[in-house]
Amino acid sequence: MTTMELNLRKQCFTEFILSMSEEEFTELENYAKTLQQRKLTSKSKPYPWAPTLDEMRSIVAESEENYRHGKFIEEEDMDNYLDSLK
């Protein structure tokens, strides 16, 4: 995107904001604050769920146990099953 295109987008967005009612502006303002908070928390926690090392080991151990006991489905079988649902 060129600088001119970016400036035009900014100008259009500014005009859009200036044309809003107080209620619409408050809603947009709250939404922007929410996005900012998510951005700040996502930097400290890169994933929605960050398991501890013990939790991760437990999950892997459970998965290996299920595999040993045949509690799994092959990808091809899953594809066939999903196709049958259509």
Is residue 20 within 8 Å of residue 28, measured between CB atoms? yes
Q: Please give the pLDDT value at position 37.
A: 85
Residue 59: partners with Cβ closer than 8 Å, 6 or more residues away: 51
Concatenated DSSP letters for 47-77? SS----HHHHHHHHHHHHHHHHTT----HHH
Q: Please give the pLDDT value at position 28.
A: 94
Average pLDDT rounded to a whole number, residues 59-73: 93
Is the pLDDT at 35 greater than 70? The verdict is yes
Is residue 48 within 8 Å of residue 56, measured between CB atoms? no
Q: Please give the pLDDT value at position 69.
A: 94
Question: pTM higher than 0.75 for the full model?
Answer: no
Q: Please give the pLDDT value at position 38.
A: 80
Is the pLDDT at 4 greater than 70? The verdict is yes
